[in-house]
Structure formats: C-alpha cells, structure tokens
Structure 1
Amino acid sequence: MAAFIQKLFKSRKANPATAPRTPAKSEPSQPSQEETRQLLKKQQEQQLGSNPDQAQLATLAIDGLTATIRLEAAAALTDETQLQQVQKQAKGRDKSVYQTVKQSLQSLKEQQAAEAAVRQRIKTLIGQAEDQAASEDLKLYQARLEALQDNWSEVQSSATAEQSQQFLEAVHQCRERLKQMEQARQEQARHREQALQRSETLALLEQTLNDLTSQESSTLPSLSALDALQKTQENRWLEATRDTQVEKQEQKDYESRMLALRNYLSAVRRFTQARDTLSELTQVAGTEEADDGHRQKALALLKEIEWPSDFPQPAELAPVRKLAGKPRPAQPAGGNRDEQKAAAEALHNTLPKLESALDAKQFKESKQLLKLAQNQFQQLDGRQRKQLQARMQLLTGQFRELSDWQGFATEPKQLALCEQMEHLADQPIEPEIKAERIKELQNEWRDLGGSSDRSLWSRFKAASDTAYEPCKAYFEAKSDLKQANLHTREAICDQLEHFLANADWSAIDWKAAERIHQTARQEWKSAWPVDFKDNRLIQKRFDELLKQLERPLDDERLKNEALKQTIVDRARALIEHEPLQEAMEQAKALQTEWKAIGITRHREDRKMWQAFRKACDQIFARRDAQRSARQQAAEEADQAAQAVLAQYQHLGAEADDAVLSEARGAVKQIAGGALSGEVKERVQQLRQRLDRITQARAMANTLESWKTLITDKAQGRLADDALPPHWAKLSNGTDRLAGKDLAIRAEILAGAPTPEQDQQRRMEIQVQRLAEGLGNGETETPLKELERLVALWCSQPGGDDVTPENADRLNRALDAMLASD
C-alpha cells in the first residue's frame, strides 16, 4: 500500500508569500483617540484571524470593539464552558452575541444527544448480539442475525475497537450456533433418509419373498440376480443402520426376511450344482432299473439340497422325491403327548430369555441358553418343530453375529487405534486438522479404558508423539506469525497517517483514494492472527485513521450519487418518449454518462443502478414486445401439451379402451401445435407408445379368439360358420398336417419349448421349414404363419391328433407369441 500512496502524490513547489515591508517612520507622533481605536480594532481583527483559542474568542465575543468582531468570535466558539460564560455576560448587553451563543449551545446539545444516542444504540446492538448468541429461541435465527449485522453496519464507524471486538465475537458465536443448527438439520435428514432406505429394503425383501413363494414350480429365478439382490440389500441395510437408532422389531424383521432369502438362495445354489445327479435320477425314476441304491441316493440328494418348505419346489425334484419314497414320520423323542407338551413349554420359557440375552449382547449367557434351547428343540416331534423352526433359525443367526462381534474386543480395537495413529503420522495434512484427529484418537483410547499391555501403550504413545511433532512446530511458528502480523498492522497505520497528512483533497484521484481505503482494510484483515491484547491500541489507531479517510470519501460519494439520481430521473422520463429510436439513443448516451461518474456508496449505487437499469429495460422492452408475444404463444402450446403428457404419460396396457381412445384423441389434437423440440419429441413418444398398446391389445384379442376356436375344435363343438372367411383361402393349397406337427410348428414360431419326446420331430420340421424357405424364396411374418397353422387346425377333419393335449400346446404357443411381442 505504501507504493500506491506514493504514486498518488505529486511533488508540489511551495510559494511562500512575502510580507510587504512597511517603510520606517522617523519619529511617530502621539496617536489620537481615533487612531488608538483603529489600532485596537486592527489588533483584534488580526487576533481573530490568527486562529485564537477558545478563551481568546470568549474575550473577543464580550470585549470586541465592533459588533462584527464580537459576532465572528461568538460564532467561532465551540467549547461549552466558554459558550455558557459568554451567554451569561452577553445577556442584556449584546443581543446578537447572546442569540448566536444560545444557538451554538443548542446545536452542541443536539450533537451531544445524537452522539449519546449512537453510543446507546451501539451498546444495545452488542447486548442484542450477545443475547442472540445465548438464546434458545431458534425461530428466524438467521434472519435476526442478518438484521443485527445490517443495523451494526450503520453505527460501526462510531464504535470503538473494543466494542467492535465484542460485537464480532458475539456474531462469531451466533454463526457457530447456526453451523450447529445446520449440522443438526443435516443429521435429522440423514436419519430420515436411513429410515426410508430401511423401509424400502424391508418392502423389497418382502416383495421378493412373496414373488418367490408365488412363482411357478417350473421356473427358477436367476442365481446371479438373487445373489446380487442379497448383497446389495445387505450393504444397503448396513449403511441405513450406521450411526442411527434402529427399533428391535425392525431389526428382527430384516433378519428374518434376509435369513429366509439366504436359505432360499443357498437351496437354489445347491440345486443348480446337483443338476447332473438330478438328471440321472430323473431318468431312472419310474423305470424298472430303479433299486434301493437309487432310492438311498435320492434321499441323500434331497437332504443335501434341503429345499425350504415355504417356497414352491422345482418340478425337477418331483421324480426324485417319488423315487426316494414318502419319508417316514419322525418319532417324537419325548414319547407320549404329556412329555411333548412339557418339552414345548420348557422351550417357550427359554426362548424369551435367549432373546433378552442376545439383545443385551451377553455372550456367555446367550451361549448357554442357546444350547439349552437346541436340546429342548430336539425333543419335539416334527409338527411342533415346524412351528418353532423359523424362530430358532433367527435366534441362531443372531447368536452367530454376536459371536463374530466378540472377536472385536478391546485389544483388537486398541491395535487398530495404534495402526490409525501410525498412519496419521505419515499423512501430509494440515497441522490443525491433524492435531484435532490426534486428540480424537487419544479420546477413543481413553474410552476403551486404557491397556494393561505396556508395549501396546508404548506403541500408541510413540505414534502420538511422532504425529504431533509437525503440529508442535506449526503452533510455534503461528506464535511468531502473530508478532509479524502486529508489525504489519503498525506499518499500515504509518502509511495511512502519511497519506492523510499529504493529501490534497481538491485535486485528488478519488478512485485511487477509495482503493487505498479498501486496500488498507484488506491488508489489515489479512494480517491475522494477532494477539488480542497487543492489538487493542493499534486497532484503535487504525479505526481513527479510517474515519479521517472516510469523511472526504463520503462527501464525494454523496455528490456523485446526486448526479446518478439525476440520470435515473432522465431515464424514467424516456420510458414513454416518442419516437422510440430517439429514446433508445438517449438511453445509450445516459449509460455513457453513468460510467463517467466517480465513486459512490455500494448499496446506494446498487439501488440507483437497479432503477436506471429498470428504466432502460422498459425502453428497450417495447422493441421486444412482438418477439415476446410469439414466445408466449409457444410457451402456452407447450403448457397445454405438458398437461396432456402429465395426464396420460403413465397410461399402461391395463387401461380401459375408452381411456386409451381418449388419450389417442388428445395426443392427436396437440401434435399439430407449435411445440418446442423437446416437448414435440415427448408427444411423439407418447403417441407411439399408445399405438403399441392398441396394437398389442388388438393382437391379444385376436390370439384369444384363436385359442377359443382351437379349444372348440379339440372338443368337437366348432361350427363351420365360426371361422373367419379368409381362413378358407389360408388353408387351401396347403398339405394336411397332423395335429402334433401343427403344435410343434407353432412352438417353433413362438419360441416355446417342445416336450422331450417330440424334440427329434421338432428338428425334422425345422430342417423341412428351412428347405421350404430356400425353395420358395418368400417368407411370411411369424404371426401370419401362425394364423395359417390355426386355420389348418380348425379346418381339417377331426382325428386322433386333434386332441385337447395338442390344443393346449397350440394355446401355450400363442401365449408365448404374445409374451415375446
């Protein structure tokens, strides 16, 4: 800043005025009374013009030779005591002096009252800021703090350094409070999000289990998909329960559903791995080759797979179960019904105790109670075991998790803390952050209760000392930095003082002076941290120097603000000015004038600029009126289209025909409007989707009617006039095909499976179709060819092949065709 101040000043040459010499008189004569009076008058005038003190002015105000001298002296008085004395002496003697002094006293009292009001307001704002920092009323906390800061900015220039420090400390506490409030809000939002994630996880698991329970036995879900689902939901639950409170029932619901999913996934995995053995036993089942060895092998395989009873068993297991024979009912271990009842009651008494021990994380008690419960469970018969099996599996899983947790006891945690501290020592992070992290690790060590292993404690202590070594050097350097910053602030004050002593305000560069003011504040703020006690005096000096610099700057700003306000008024007058081109040219000229005006207060300049810009925008808005009208029309068209899209975008295949027809009509009506590219594309997509739904529905209806004709033909109740007229043409010229071949051809077209016994025939027909296609050179669509097959089925005379079984195969092929479309 010193270099900047030096550039501001230019060397000036002093032009001292030489006093004229009065020619000496040889022998002055005795002055007359009038000459004496004139001489005294001249002396008083010279005294008045030589910057007299307040006591001299008071004497002149009373004893001045002329009324002019007395009034001028009275007007220059500012000391309250001297003013009161002159008022008392002038009362009844000199009315003009008396009135002048009286007005000066009144002005002085008003000034003192205003300064007292400002001081009182400063104290009030400091008190309000401190109350705000300690207040428990969090409603509109941010707004109240901003209002306090706005009010403080109005009186900040009149506050002392200590008062400014007090207010800033209170504001800092308020901001810390706001930061805590924001952290609390974020924490609440995190807990809500975690609760939502847990709810969605439970719902997804329940839906998955319901889907698996209700699925057909002929199909199995993808093993990789189930495995991915299990792992993602486990990770999701882990994140949703981290550092938050989870209800016991919610945790139990998750564990029971995840346990069921794990059991099913394990069973599917074992089933998949045993497919070769299943295939071998399936081929033997129902034949004369089956013997007791095969039965034992089937029993062992079923026991190994251990398919959960709550889920539908795969169709491949049916022949193996048949081969294994019906399992014998398990003999109750307890004998008669009374013993079974007593064993069940004992188990019912043990299970709540086991749940309480598991909830309390009591490993030893849980282990004993689980062993007791397992022994009691073994004494029950199969019927009663089935009722309690899920609960026992859940409690066993909880004990397994508790057992795993026992491995993370105090010593492994302390080893982990040692490793973290050693890792922290090697990390090049900021010293203050590192020191805070060291403190956190030390607190965690203390929370664990210390360690009886001295070598482990020595390792942790050595790692702590190593990690803190760069922090120690940093804090020592920070202390030196405070002293350097204090010296920097002293230099800033010296430079400001030099600038103010040499400034020529009549020819100064105001923008440069304002930059000096801004630079001084910025450099002062950058010279931080400093010791608070050492900074008090230098802060007071800096504040006084800033006030001296701000006074002329404020005067210049007020003058420039008046000029800009004049420009704003002229711009407003041009809003309705005609012609428009002339108004626009004058507005541009006003913008040039605006840029040429000097410094202003930022807040006032922003207000006037907004008013000026608003007036200019209104001037130029007339030119854009037509363009805006066109744009508005386009926006209205888009809004109308958006309403239709919002109403029908979720329409699916389940919609009624009337709703579907209504949607297609509405889309057709808006499609021709002047839409934007994005909206037009969305309308086109909706139109195509509605067309696909309509076509799919028509196809479904057509296939459903074909299925009815196929079934009626197989049952011998199909009337000749029930067939579509064009089917006669489809069936003419085509060789008669057996019912089974028609079914196989339909399965080929639809991609449906063919029974094992007809696989060889399916391959022959595929070869035949390939040859027919190569010979004709013409191909039909799968749906058209399928219709021809249905026409042949319905038009040919009945026989052994036109059976309900083949009719069912044809209908399943039609269903497969509909599903794949």
Structure 2
Amino acid sequence: ARSAAARAEREQKEKELARQMQEAISATASAMAAGRIADAHVQHERLAKLRRQLGQVPASLREALAEVESDYIRLADAQRWSDDTRRRQLCEELEVLPETGLHPDALATRVREIQAEWTTLDRLEAHAAGRNDGLARRFRTLCQKAIAPAKPYFEKRDELRKQGSEETSQLIAEAKAAVASENPDWRALNEMRKRSVEGLRTLDRVNPRERKNLAAELKQVLGIIDERIKTQHAQIESAKAALIARAAALAEQADTRTAMNQARDLQKLWQATGNGKRARDQAQWVVFRAAIDAVFARADSERAERTAHDRQAVEAAEGLCAELEAVASANGAADRSEVQRIESAWRALAPGDAALRQRFQRARDALEALTAKLDKDKRRAHFDAWVAHYDLLRRFETRQIDGEALSAARARLAPLVIGADAFQARIEAVADGYAIATADADDLRDCVLEAEQLAGLESAGEDRQRRMDLQVEKLAARMRGVQAPAAAAALEELMTRWIELGLPGDGDGEREARFKHAAAAILDTLG
C-alpha cells in the first residue's frame, strides 16, 4: 500500500511538472513572438529548470519543446550578434574617449553611461552574457584607461574640498570662541559675522557629504552672533535715548555757557557709546543733534544780538533753512526754481555759523532723500501694486477672504498694471466656482530660478543645475543677437508669467515664497 501511494504521488508530481512545462513552453513562445527578449530569457530558464526536474520530457511535449528550443537558439544567436556589435561600438568609443578633451566630470559621466548600457545588454541576454568573456575583459580595461586622465582632476578636487572643509571647520571654531566671550570686541564680532555669511555662501567648495552639517553649524553660530549683536544694539539705543533726554533738558538751562559745556560733554559721551543699528543710530542722531544745535543756536543768537548785521545774517540764514526744510518736508515734488532760489541766496549769504550750515545741509539731504524716494516710489509703484494685489488674490483663492472683502481691499490699492487680465480671470474663476488649473511645478521652478538669477540670490542646491541650464540658454540667445531685457522689464515679464501659470500646487509653497523674496530683492535694486 505504501509503494502504491508513493507511486501515485510521483505520477501526480510528474503530471504537475508536465503541466508547468506546457505553460513555460507557451510563455516562452509568446515572449519571443512579442519581442520581449528579457521575458523570453526568464521563461526559457524556467523551462530548463522544469526539464531538469522531470528528467524525461513527455512525448506530448517533445515536438513543441523542440520547436521552442530551435526558435530560442536563433533568437539568442541574433541577439548575441546584435549585442556584440553594439559592445564593439562601445569599446571603440571608449578607445577615443580620452582624446575628446571632455571635462573630467563629463568624461566620468560618459563612462558611467557606457557601463550602464553594457550592463543592460548583459541583463537582456541573461546567461548568454558569459560567452563574451574576452570582449568583457577588453571593455573593463578600456574603462580604466578612459577614466585614467580624469583621476588627477578628481584627486585635486578632493584635496581642495578637504582643504575647504578644514577652513570652514576652523571658521566655525573661531566664531564659537568669539561668541563665547563675555565682553567681546564688537567690531571683531561683526567682522566674524561677515566671514560666517561668506562661509555659508561658499559651501560648494567643501565635500558634499559634509556640506549639510557645516551649513547647520554656521547657521547656528550666525543665530547666536545676531542675538548678541541685537542685544548690544538695544543697549546702545537705550543709552543714546538717555543722552537725548539730557540734551533736550539743556533747553531749560538758564546759563548759555554752562549749557554749551554740558552739550560738549554729551557729544563726547555720545561718541563713546558706540555704534548700533545704522538706521536707528541715524534717527536718534537727528533728534540728539537737533537738541544740541538748539543750545549752540541760542548762543549764536545771543552773540548775534551784539551786532545787527550778524543778527540779520543769522535770521536770513535761518529763513533760508526754514524755507528749504519746508520744501523738504512737503509731500509732493519740490519746485526746482524755488530750490534754486533758496540755494542761490544761501551761497550769496555764506553764513559762518556751523550749526546753520549743518541744518541747511540736513534740509538739503532731506530734500534729496525726498526726491530719491519719490523717484523710487514712481519706478516701483506698479510692481508694488502687483505684490499687494497678488497677496489679496492668494488669500481669496485660499478662502481666507470673500469676494466683497477682496473688492473692497483692491479698491484701496493702486490700479493693477501687470498681468491685469490674468488676475481678473483667476478671480472670476474662483467667484464662479470653477477649478483653476494647477501650475506646472517645473514652470514655476524656472520662473523662480530666473527671478533669483535676476536678483543675484543663491538658488537651492537641487536647482543649481537647472539654473545653470537656463543661464546657458540665455547666453546662447545673446550670442544669437537677442538682447537681454532691462531689470524692470524682466521683472514685469516674470510677474506676468507667474500669474498666468496658474494656481501653485500644495507642494509649491516654498517656490512661491522664494519668488516673492526674489521679487522684493529685485525691487530694492530698482529703487
């Protein structure tokens, strides 16, 4: 009974193997007929394994197996012949590759591409690849010879990157030591901040594997430096505010000579206080200087009373200063003829009072600053309008505000000039409930990269190659005689293209922020 059961089990197993062989024969034939070479190799390997398991092929399958084997041999021979021809072409290309004068990076890239193609050929041939041992040895030898000229370059680059990593690490160590001091040299600390920022901008000269960690350390050190400088600026601002209060109190001092002596002492204390944030220092200096000037002006007035001529000269000078200050404090553009009249009268008067000269100069500087500001606002007005309208549009598209709030807010803004039609189309689409097409991420990235290039900003590491490609395209265009547009025209074109591309996707928030940052940097240069 056990013998019969074993025999029955063996016969059942042979039937199952025969059925699988029938499937493998059909699958191999189908793969060859469809031209799926790699699949044909896999199915043929399966068929060979089943033959080894069966030992003897059933008579019902012999004819089909013989036909498939014959077709497979012809297919394998044809593929080997075709692949060997391509392999020889690859070897010939490797032989002349060192003489092409390619950059080492391009040379290494081409060698890797050839190796990848060779591997693909081996994979497609499956076990047939073992028959090309001689050709394979030649290929490996040629690969080594082709890459040999580039090895000194890569070794030198690795050496420079190692040196750059060491220098950056040394910079980080020096910066940490500088911020660790309780009483640092603020001038040296500001200089260290500049060096740290420069080190962060030049991280491309270090090993890519170390770049991320070094960047994180530099940013951490910069944050500490900025915090300490911010604290020091706050202390200086507070000390100067106290000096301003003391200077203002000099107006109540009855004795003019005593007030003048105290004003001089306050000026020395002001200089000893040090320098804080430039804009705030300048604003405080204007107030402080005005209070100090008031003291000296009072002394000048007292001296002017001794001489009528001097008094008249001072009054005339003060009148001119007041006129120029009035012109400078006006909201609109100054009357050029009026300014020329005041300056001509000032030159004819030639006052000797230093305070008045400084006052007049401040008024003149204020007038120049006003003129420059008006010119700047005029140049960038329609760009600023685009930014304001765009912020409202994005809030409307993200349902932060409704249509009524959008219309009311836009009515308070300057009219939109750039991309007005595209703005209106997107607003109407949201208002009507239509879905706005999501912008292509690559188009948005190109727009961001062009804006960052125009602004002179660094791009993210993964975008540098694409930015280089765009720069090459522009260079090629200029070589063909296409003139590059001015910065204002280029920015207007970028803003129009950005709004026309469509709605940024869920993952495009960073690109949108980078575009707005680059646009703001470009506007600063226009101003």
TM-score, normalised relative to structure 2: 0.32
Answer with 1 or 2: which has the greater Rg: 1
